[in-house]
Structure 1
Amino acid sequence: MNFQTEIPTSAVLGPALVGFALVALARHRRDAPGWRGAPLALRCTTALYAAAVASITFFPLWIYGGMYRNQAAWYGQIQPIPLLMADITMLPNVILFLPLGFLLPLLRPHTGLRGTAMASALISLSVEVLQMLQYIVLGNGRAVDVNDLIANTLGGLLGYGVLRVAHRSTAMRAVLEKAAPSARTVA
């Protein structure tokens, strides 16, 4: 049987964001620590960022069957040699993870450079593995590239660097400490 079906981004990420909003509202009403004012805004920003990353990396989700299914072997979709095909197309991956490196230490104040690098690499690896599983299970044509892993990790590190530079400004440090009261441990 030949078919192709699209699961739109809004069908998955819409309910996920509504679920987050309901949890945030409940915690806000219960006056839970970190769920009011600037810290709540930081959490909402992070949720929107995570949804944007998921939207870019996984959606729209196409499911192919029969003659529409990609017939190439799954292992042919893996680019395992670092920097062999490196070019300017790596830049969007760097930019994609830059906010992660900025937001993570604000959400988890004891996360330093090493923790940010590890989190960026693990999240990027998870994205690549899920894209490979989409290819295998759904036949949707996604490829896995070690350069994406490198670029995403670099983006996370650059975001951490931007946060460190922002902490040098008294005005920015005050804003960041208001959003994440224990963020002062980052700088």
Structure 2
Amino acid sequence: MNFQTQIPTAAVLGPALAVFAVIAAVRRRGDAPGWRGGPLALRVLAAVYAAAVFSLTLFPLWIYGGDYRNAAPWISQIQPIPLLMADVTMIPNVIMFVPLGFLLPLLSPGLARGRTTALCALASLGIEITQLLQYIALGNGRSADVNDLVANTLGGLLGYAVLRAARRATAARAVLDRLSAAHGGA
């Protein structure tokens, strides 16, 4: 049986954001620490950012069957050698993870450069594995590329550096402190 179908982005991410909005409203109403003012705004920003990244990297979900299914072996969808095929297409991947490197230490104060970078690398690895699993299970054209992992991790590190630089400016530090869970938790 030949078929191809698409699960639209909004069909998955819309309800996920709606559930987050309900949880945020309940926690805010219940006066849960970190769910008011700046920390709530930061959490909302992080949720919208996560939805945007998922929208770019995992959606829409295309499902193929029969003759439409991609017949190349799954192992051929993995680019395991870093920087072998590096080019300017890595730049969007760097840019995409700059906000993550910036947001993580604000969401979890005390995260140092190494842990922030490691969490960015793990998030990127999760995306690449999910893309490979989509290829295997759904027969779509997704692939796993170590260059994406390198670029995303670099983007996270750059985001952390931007946050550190911003915290050196008094006015920016005051705004960041109001957003951070450590300073505006109530």
Same fold (TM over 0.5): yes
2:63 maps to 1:28: no
Distance, in Å, in 2 between the alignment partners of 1:81 and 1:36 is 45
Q: Does the residue aligned with 1:84 lie in a helix, a strand or coil? A: coil
Tell me the amino acid that sits aligned with residue 70 of structure 1.
N
1: distance between equivalents of 2:181 and 2:125? 31
Show the counterpart of 1:113.
113
Deviation at 1:182, TM superposition (A): 2.4
Q: What is the CA distance between 1:181 and its match in structure 2?
A: 5.0
Q: Which residue of 2 aligns with 1:150?
A: 150
Task: Write the letter of the residue equivalent to 2:138.
Answer: L
Pick 1 or 2: higher relative contact order, CA cutoff 8 A, min separation 6.
Answer: 2
Distance in 2 (CA, whole Å) between partners of 1:178 and 1:122 is 28
Structure 1 moving runs of 4+ over 4 Å: none
**Gaps spanning 5+ residues in structure 2: where?**
none
Report deviation, 1:23.
0.2
Measure, in 1, the Cα distance between the counterparts of 2:61 and 2:181: 39
Aligned residues: 183
CA-CA distance at 1:110 after TM superposition = 1.2
Output the CA distance in 2 between the equivalents of 1:51 and 1:11. Answer: 12
Name 2:88's counterpart in structure 1.
Answer: 88
- 2: CA distance, partners of 1:133 / 1:144: 9
State the Cα RMSD in Å. 0.8
- For normalisation by structure 1, the TM-score amounts to 0.97
What do the CA deviations read for 1:83-138 (whole angstroms, capped 9, x no partner)? 00001000000001000000000000011100011101101000000000000000
Amino acid at match of 1:93: N
Q: String of CA shifts for 1:38-71, please: whole Å, max 9, x gaps.
A: 1100000000000000000001110000000001
Output the TM-score relative to the length of structure 2: 0.97
Please give the alpha-carbon distance, in whole angstroms, between the structure 1 residues aligned to 2:75 and 2:96: 25
The match for 2:56 is 56
Show the counterpart of 1:167.
Answer: 167
Identity %: 67
